[in-house]
Amino acid sequence: QSGKPLVKDMFTDLKDGRKLLDLLEGLTGKPLPKERGSTRVHALNNVNRVLQVLHQNNVELVNIGGTDIVDGNHKLTLGLLWSIILHWQVKDVMKNIMSDLQQTNSEKILLSWVRQSTRPYSQVNVLNFTTSWADGLAFNAVMHRHKPELFSWDKVTKMSPVERLEHAFSIAKNHLGIEKLLDPEDVAVQLPDKKSIIMYLTSLFEVLPKQVTMEDIREVETLPRRYKQECEDGEFNMQQVSLEEDQGSSRAETPSTVTEVDMDLDSYQVALEEVLTWLLSAEDAFREQEEISGDVEEVKEQFSTHEGFMMELTAHQSSVGSVLQAGNQLVAQGNLSPEEEFEIQEQMLLLNSRWEELRVESMDRQARLHDMLMELQKQQLQQLSDWLTVTEERIQKMESQILAEDLESLQKHLEEHKSLQSDLETEQVKVNSLTHMVVIVDESNGESATAILEEQLQRLGERWTAVCRWTEERRVKLQEIQFLWQELLEEQCLLKAWLTEKEEALSKVQTSNFKDQTDLSVNVRKLAILKEDMGMKRQTLDQLNELGQDVAQILGSGTASSKIDQDQEELTQRWDSLVQKLEDYSNQVTQAVGTVGMSQVSQKTAAETMPLKEQVLVKQSRQELPPPPPPKKRQIPGDSEAKKKFDAESTELLNWISKSKSAIQATDIKEYKKMRETSNMKEKLKVIEKERVEKSQKLDELKRSGHFLLDQMGK
C-alpha cells in the first residue's frame, strides 16, 4: 500500500532492517530514520532500531536479538513477525473487548468468541486453534452463525474437508473482504499451524459481530487442562505427539501442543535422554574451544565460531523447555509413585542446572570475545592513525625536497619512493582487516558509539586514500622524469658521437692540390654527402632542444635546468661550428675548381662544390653560355669491364649508405617519447646492422678493386 518494493524473500529482504522499519512506519504512523549503508554495522543499527520501537510499543520479544535477524535466522525472524502480527492485528483488534472484560489473554477471548459463535452447531466443538479447524466445519459455522444468508449449512456438511475449507475462504473473500491467507491443503492436515489459524480468525473477528461475555470466558477456563493450556503457552512439540501416536494412544481429540498430550513416563524418559545426550555433546564442544587469542584475525574467527554455537543453543532451548514442561505435567497428573515423582524432579533439577550453567558460561565467553575483539580493533585503528601521521610527515618532507639535480639524485628519490610503497603494501594488510570489522550493537553502547566508530573509520579511510593517491601520482611523475631524462642523455650522447664522426670526416676532406679530376670528384662527393647528412640531422637537434626544455620544466630545479641548458648549448655550438667549417670547405673546393678549370671538371662536380646560395647563379649562367666541349677521357690500360663493375658496385654501396642514414635520422624522438615504445626502432636498427655486416665485405672488395684500378691508371 505504501508503494514500496514487495518482499520477495522474507529472510533475505528483512536482514538489513530497512523493510522492517518501513512496516513499523505504516503501523505506528511515525517516520523512522534508516541507515542506507550496506555494511553489517548499518544492518545491525536498523534492526536494533526496530527492536527499540517494538519495545516502546510494549511488544514482547523473547530471546530475539539484532544479530539473529541480520544473520537470517529463520525461526527467530518468523517469531519477530508473529510478535508484530499478534500486537498490531490480533491484540489491536481485540483491545476494546479486552479492556471491557479486563482480560489480557487475547487467545482466550478469541477461543471464547469462536465457541460462542459455533454453539448451535452440533457437529462443531472447538477446543483449540489447531485440530479443531482441520475439517473446515468450524470456519463455515462461524460465518454461517453471523451471515446465514450467504450459504446453506446442510450443503456444507456434505462436502469433504478440503472443499469446506475452500468454500469458507471463498465466502470470506467475496463477501467479507478477507484475503485467502490460508490454503485448504495446509489446514486439512493432522496438525494445522496454530499461528496461521489465529491470524485468520482475527480477521473474521474484526468484521463479524463481537459478543463475548464473562460466562464465555469462564467456560473456556473450565475446559480440561490439556486443552486450555494452549491458550496460555502457545507452543507444541511434534516429537512428543508422534511418540504417542506410535504407542497407539487413543483419545477423542488430537491436541495441538505438548501440554495437550497425556504424557506417559516412557515417552518422557526418551525425550529426556535425547536432550541430555545433546547437552553433553554441547558441553564438550564448549570445553574444547580454545583460549581467547590475542590476534585480531584469530579472535574474529573464534567470535564467529562461538556465535554459531550460541545459535545452536537458541535452537535447542525449546527442546529443553518442552522436556521440563513435560516433567512438570507428569508430576501434576498425580499418577506417579513417590519414588518416580522424586526421580523426575531430580532429573529436571539436573537438566535445568546444567542448561543454565552452559548458557551462562556461553554468554560470558561471548561477552569476553566481544570485549577482546573490540579492544584489538581499537588498537588497530590507533596503530593505523599513528602510522598515517608518521607517513604524512614523511610525505611533507619528501615534497619539500628538490625533485632532482642529476640522475644520481633522481635515482635516490626513486629508491626512497620504493621504500614508501613497500611500507604501504605492508600496511594494506592491516587496512584490509579493518574493512571487515566486527561490531556488536547493544543497549550498552547504542547508536552513538557506532556513529563515533563510523566517523573514525571514515576519517582514517580518507587519510589512507590521500596517502595512496599521492604515492601513486609521485611514482608516475618520477618514472616519467627518469625516462625522459635518460632518453635526453642517450640522444645527446648519440648526437655528440655523430658530430665527432662528421668532424673527423670533414677534416679528411682535401680542399686543394688535387692530383686529377678523380681526386677532386672524390672530395666533392664527400662534401656533398656531409651536406646531405647535416640537412637530415637538423631535425634531431631541434627535437633534442624541445625535449631538454620539457625535462627542465618538469624538474623545476635551477641546477638541473642549467646543466641541461649548458649541454644543449654545447651541442648547438658544435653543430654551428661544423656547419661553418663545411661551408668554408665548400668555398675552398669551389675556388680549386676555378683554378683547375671548368674544362677538366664536370658540371655536376662543380655544382656539388658550390655553396647553396651560389648554385642559383650557376643555373642562370648555364642558360647564357654554350656547353663546354667534353673533356678527353684518359684511356685506362686494363679491363674496361672491371672499371664498369667498380662504378656500379660503388654507386650501389653509396646509395645504401645514404638510404640507411636517412632511415636512422628519420626516427622521431618525440614520437618515441609519447609512445614509450622502441620495439619498431630496434627492429629497423637490427635490419640495418645485418645489412652493414654484409656491405662491409663488399666494401673490402671495392677497396681492393679500386687500388688495382689506380695502379693500372698509374702505369
CA atoms within 13 Å, Cβ hemisphere of 136:
25
Nearest 10 degrees: CA dihedral of 180, 182, 183, 184?
Answer: -100
Mean pLDDT of 266-287: 88
The answer to whether 67 and 51 are in contact (CB under 8 A) is: no
Instruction: Give the whole-number percent of the chain exceeding pLDDT 90.
Output: 11
The answer to whether 497 and 581 are in contact (CB under 8 A) is: no
Q: Which three cell numbers stand for residue 15?
A: 536482514
Tell me how far apart the alpha carbons of residues 608 and 589 are, in angstroms, rounded to a whole number: 9
Mean pLDDT of 252-271: 54
The answer to whether 267 and 245 are in contact (CB under 8 A) is: no
Nearest one of 477, 506, 668 to 575, comparing CA atoms: 506
Say if residue 515 is exposed, middle or buried (CB neighbours under 10 Å; 0-12, 13-18, 19+): exposed
Give the Cα-Cα-Cα angle 466, 471, 472 (nearest 5 degrees). 100
The answer to whether 417 and 471 are in contact (CB under 8 A) is: yes
| Confidence at residue 2, expressed as pLDDT on a 0 to 100 scale | 57
| Confidence at residue 603, expressed as pLDDT on a 0 to 100 scale | 47
pLDDT band at 167 (very low <50, low <70, confident <90, very high): very high
Specify the range with the lowest mean pLDDT, choosing from 120-134, 174-188, 250-264.
250-264
Taking CA atoms, 382 is separated from 67, 457, 533, 666, in Å, by: 27, 11, 68, 60
Tell me how far apart the alpha carbons of residues 295 and 488 are, in angstroms, rounded to a whole number: 53
- Say whether pLDDT at 515 is over 70: yes
Each residue's pLDDT tens digit, 330-363: 888 778 888 888 888 888 888 888 898 998 999 8
Specify the range with the lowest mean pLDDT, choosing from 77-91, 106-120, 324-338, 652-666.
652-666
| Confidence at residue 377, expressed as pLDDT on a 0 to 100 scale | 82
Q: Which three cell numbers stand for residue 589?
A: 673546393
Q: Which three cell numbers stand for residue 565?
A: 641548458
Nearest one of 216, 225, 177, 169 to 197, comparing CA atoms: 169
- Say whether pLDDT at 55 is over 50: yes
pTM for the model stands at 0.39
CATH of domain 485-595: 1.20.58.60
What is residue 282's three-state secondary structure? Answer: helix
pLDDT band at 251 (very low <50, low <70, confident <90, very high): very low
Nearest one of 486, 494, 472 to 408, comparing CA atoms: 486
Residues 6+ apart with CB under 8 A from 278: 316, 319
| Confidence at residue 257, expressed as pLDDT on a 0 to 100 scale | 30
- Say whether pLDDT at 107 is over 90: no
pLDDT band at 605 (very low <50, low <70, confident <90, very high): very low
Instruction: Give the whole-number percent of the chain exceeding pLDDT 70.
Output: 78
| Confidence at residue 330, expressed as pLDDT on a 0 to 100 scale | 84
- Say whether pLDDT at 621 is over 60: no
| Confidence at residue 175, expressed as pLDDT on a 0 to 100 scale | 92
- Say whether pLDDT at 395 is over 90: no
Residues of the chain with CATH 1.20.58.60: 265-381, 485-595
Q: Average pLDDT over the chain, rounded to whole?
A: 77
Mean pLDDT of 495-499: 90
| Architecture of the domain defined by 10-93 | Orthogonal Bundle (1.10)
- Taking residue 704's Cβ as centre, other Cβ atoms within 10 Å add up to 10
Mean pLDDT of 365-394: 88
| Confidence at residue 405, expressed as pLDDT on a 0 to 100 scale | 67
- Say whether pLDDT at 160 is over 90: yes
Tell me how far apart the alpha carbons of residues 10 and 13 are, in angstroms, rounded to a whole number: 6
| Confidence at residue 170, expressed as pLDDT on a 0 to 100 scale | 95
Tell me how far apart the alpha carbons of residues 225 and 259 are, in angstroms, rounded to a whole number: 8
Tell me how far apart the alpha carbons of residues 166 and 162 are, in angstroms, rounded to a whole number: 6
The answer to whether 249 and 262 are in contact (CB under 8 A) is: yes
Each residue's pLDDT tens digit, 623-678: 334 444 444 444 444 456 777 777 778 777 887 787 777 667 655 554 544 444 55
| Confidence at residue 133, expressed as pLDDT on a 0 to 100 scale | 93
Three-state SS sequence of 538-604: HHHHHHHHHHHHHHHHHHCCHHHHHHHHHHHHHHHHHHHHHHHHHHHHHHHHHHHHHHHCHHHCCHH
| Confidence at residue 253, expressed as pLDDT on a 0 to 100 scale | 32
Q: Which three cell numbers stand for residue 145?
A: 452463525
| Confidence at residue 637, expressed as pLDDT on a 0 to 100 scale | 46
To the question of domain 265-381 being in CATH 1.20.58.60, the answer is yes
- Say whether pLDDT at 592 is over 60: yes
Specify the range with the lowest mean pLDDT, choosing from 380-389, 442-451, 456-465, 581-590.
442-451
Nearest one of 307, 312, 309, 347 to 330, comparing CA atoms: 347
| Confidence at residue 62, expressed as pLDDT on a 0 to 100 scale | 65
Taking CA atoms, 285 is separated from 280, 288, 294, in Å, by: 9, 5, 21
Residues of the chain with CATH 1.10.418.10: 10-93, 104-222
| Confidence at residue 215, expressed as pLDDT on a 0 to 100 scale | 77
Mean pLDDT of 141-146: 93
Q: How far from the centroid of its chain's Cα atoms is residue 269's Cα?
A: 54
| Confidence at residue 361, expressed as pLDDT on a 0 to 100 scale | 92
The answer to whether 192 and 134 are in contact (CB under 8 A) is: yes
| Confidence at residue 223, expressed as pLDDT on a 0 to 100 scale | 64
| Confidence at residue 686, expressed as pLDDT on a 0 to 100 scale | 78
Each residue's pLDDT tens digit, 606-615: 444 444 334 4
What's phi and psi for 152, nearest 5 deg? -95, 130
Residues 6+ apart with CB under 8 A from 102: none
Cell 625522459 sits on residue: 484
Nearest one of 117, 139, 146 to 200, comparing CA atoms: 139
Q: Which fold has domain 104-222?
A: Actin-binding Protein, T-fimbrin; domain 1 (1.10.418)
Nearest one of 26, 19, 60, 23 to 43, comparing CA atoms: 19
| Confidence at residue 166, expressed as pLDDT on a 0 to 100 scale | 95
Nearest one of 234, 312, 243 to 273, comparing CA atoms: 243
| Confidence at residue 61, expressed as pLDDT on a 0 to 100 scale | 73
Q: Which three cell numbers stand for residue 393?
A: 610527515
Taking CA atoms, 140 is separated from 131, 152, 177, 331, 603, in Å, by: 15, 10, 15, 40, 129
| Confidence at residue 72, expressed as pLDDT on a 0 to 100 scale | 85
Greatest mean pLDDT among 250-264, 529-543, 680-694 lies in: 529-543
What is residue 666's three-state secondary structure? Answer: coil
Q: Which three cell numbers stand for residue 163?
A: 472443499
Mean pLDDT of 499-522: 84
Q: How far from the centroid of its chain's Cα atoms is residue 288's Cα?
A: 36
What's phi and psi for 128, nearest 5 deg? -160, -170
Q: Which three cell numbers stand for residue 387?
A: 602510522
Each residue's pLDDT tens digit, 217-245: 777 776 654 444 444 444 333 333 232 33
